[in-house]
Amino acid sequence: MRDGEARRLLDEAVARTLSERTAWVRQFVRAGGDAPGADELRVEGAVDLRRRIAVVAEARVPEARVTRFESAAAAPRRLVEAFGERRPVVYAGGSRYVATDAEWVHAEGDIEGPRRPSDPVWLLDALAHAVGGTVDGDELRCTLDLSDADALDRSGILPPSRWRGIVRTADRRRREDWLASVPCVVAIDRDGTIARMSYAGLPPSEAAGALTTTTQFVEYRVPVEIPDLMGRVPAAV
What residue spans define the domains of the chain? 3-220
pLDDT of residue 231: 57
Q: How many residues does the chain have?
A: 237
Q: What's the average pLDDT block by block, 10 residues per block, for the chain (237 residues)?
A: 78 97 96 75 96 93 44 40 74 93 89 92 96 91 94 82 59 86 96 96 76 95 91 45
Edge-to-edge order in the sheet of strand 194-201: 104-108, 95-99, 86-92, 53-59, 41-48, 22-31, 211-220, 194-201, 182-188, 139-144, 130-136
91 residue type, one letter: Y
- Beta carbons within 10 angstroms of residue 159's beta carbon: 22
- Of the candidates 184, 169, 168, the residue with the CA atom closest to the CA atom of residue 6: 184
pLDDT of residue 225: 94
Angstrom distance (rounded) from CA 32 to CA 213: 10
pLDDT of residue 78: 41
pLDDT of residue 44: 97
* Topology, domain 3-220: outer membrane lipoprotein receptor (LolB), chain A (2.50.20)
What 3-state class would DSSP assign to 79? helix
pLDDT of residue 234: 46
pLDDT of residue 169: 72
pLDDT of residue 166: 56
204 residue type, one letter: P
pLDDT of residue 158: 77
pLDDT of residue 71: 34
pLDDT of residue 236: 38
CA 17 to mean position of chain CA atoms: 16
